[in-house]
């Protein structure tokens, strides 16, 4: 039989091990939160670069051709399509970084459904969305927006009043 002193020491070592494991778990959770925040910050930085590039292409029609895959558009209409893309991209970013949840995202996009230029942008970019990996966030949101686009405007009026 072990001496009482050894049992006490063993129990203390076990308590210390448990405390160290709990501390390590807290550190790991903290690191995971930091990594997630860094990921969000990187997304925001990348989006800032993309918006800057879009702004330049809106200001300079010769650059717009390099940014847009849409054809048969006047310079003004191309600028409008780039602006619609920028707006959609920023809404997606807001969702990705947690500024808005899925319900808010779909609410904003449901409202955009009323804008004829956004509807044209959406129709013109359907092929590009079909090429996305089906389970990607953008593809899943794209399918939800496709469903929103098929709703009647009367239904949208009811949503606005009730929602």
Give kind and range of the element (H or E) at residue 117. helix 116-124
Contact 132, 138 (CB under 8 A): yes
For the residues of 84-100, what is the DSSP string, one character each? HHHHHHHHHHHHHTTSS
Please state the pTM of the whole predicted model.
0.70
Q: What is the pLDDT of residues 4-60, one digit of tens each?
A: 688 889 999 999 999 999 989 899 898 889 988 888 888 888 888 888 888 887 788
Cβ–Cβ < 8 Å for 79, 58: yes
The encoded tokens of residue 79 equal: 């600028």
Nearest by Cα to 87 from 65, 71, 111, 69: 111
- Per-residue pLDDT tens over the stretch 109-153: 999 999 999 999 999 999 999 999 999 999 999 999 999 988 865
Chain centroid offset of residue 96 CA: 3
Q: How far apart are CA 10 and CA 17, in angstroms?
A: 10
pLDDT confidence band for 163 (50 / 70 / 90): very low
Instruction: Give 7-33 as a 3 state SS string.
Output: HHHHHHHHHHHHHHHHHHHHHHHHHHH
């Amino acid at each position: 039989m072990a001496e009482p002193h050894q049992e006490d020491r063993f129990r203390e070592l076990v308590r210390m091990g448990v405390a160290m494991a709990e501390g390590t778990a807290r550190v790991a959770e903290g690191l995971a939160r930091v990594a997630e925040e860094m990921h969000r910050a990187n997304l925001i930085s990348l989006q800032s670069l993309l918006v800057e590039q879009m702004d330049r292409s809106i200001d300079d029609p010769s650059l717009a051709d390099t940014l847009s895959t849409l054809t048969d558009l006047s310079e003004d209409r191309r600028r409008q399509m780039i602006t619609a893309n920028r707006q959609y991209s920023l809404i997606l970013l807001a969702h990705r970084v947690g500024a808005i949840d899925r319900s808010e995202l779909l609410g904003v996009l449901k409202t955009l459904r009323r804008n004829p230029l956004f509807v044209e942008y959406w129709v013109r970019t359907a092929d590009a969305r079909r090429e996305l990996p089906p389970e990607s966030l953008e593809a899943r949101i794209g399918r939800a927006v496709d469903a929103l686009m098929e709703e009647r405007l009367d239904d949208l009026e009811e949503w606005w009043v009730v929602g």
